[in-house]
Amino acid sequence: MGRLTHYWDRESYDELMELIPGEAPVEYPIGTAAAVSELKLRGLRCEPPTLLKLVGDGKVDVAKIGEWSKAAIDAAAEVLYAAGAWDSWTHWCFVANARFGQVVKARRVASALFGLPFKFSFDCPGLVTVIEPGADGGEYSRVRFYPSGTQVSPVDQDAETALPF
């Protein structure tokens, strides 16, 4: 497995954006404001001057200023991620070692199963959030949401590493 990243990657983003009810697919290239909105939605802090600076500094290539292809947005995402321009949900994914897209998908499933409103955040008031660690440090953990009152406990932990809750 390659380097782990914790913002919303292109593949997961495209897949889940197609599932938003009533939304037409985005046609690329898009303008700078739309590119900024996409990057923010994908868990990165960004403003229009930031994107223009990345182009001016030669860190991101665009065919024309103000026209952002998927590849240019993804290149900007890599630079922003490496620079630590993360929003709180990207930090959450980093701490949990989770894929942003998997958590968004789990949240969407929880919304459908438990009648929650559609949101892009990971907040699930009234639900139990379970983070299942990956097999080793090179794998992402998995996040699941369960109904309130669900009892969970650590598995496969010896007494020395078990958490006291």
How far is the CA of 26 from the CAs of 14, 20, 63, 67, 102, in angstroms? 9, 12, 18, 13, 21
Same domain membership, residue 83 and residue 25:
yes
User: Which residue from 50, 46, 55, 42 is spatially nearest to 12, judged by alpha carbons?
Assistant: 42
DSSP-derived secondary structure for 61-77: --SBTTBB-HHHHHHHH
Residue 152 lies in a domain: no
Query: Are 19 and 81 contained in the same domain?
Result: yes
Return the structure tokens found at 46. Answer: 């960004």
Same domain, 68 and 133: no
Residue with tokens 């440090």: 137
Cβ partners under 8 Å of residue 142, min gap 6: 98, 102, 131, 132, 134
pLDDT tens digits for range 86-96: 999 999 999 99
d(CA 60, CA 78): 10
- Asked, for residue 95, whether it belongs to a domain, the answer is yes
For the segment 21-74, what is each residue's pLDDT rounded down to a tens digit? Answer: 777 788 999 999 999 999 999 999 999 999 999 999 999 999 998 999 999 999
What range defines the domain where residue 124 resides? Answer: 89-147
Q: Are residues 106 and 71 in the same domain?
A: no
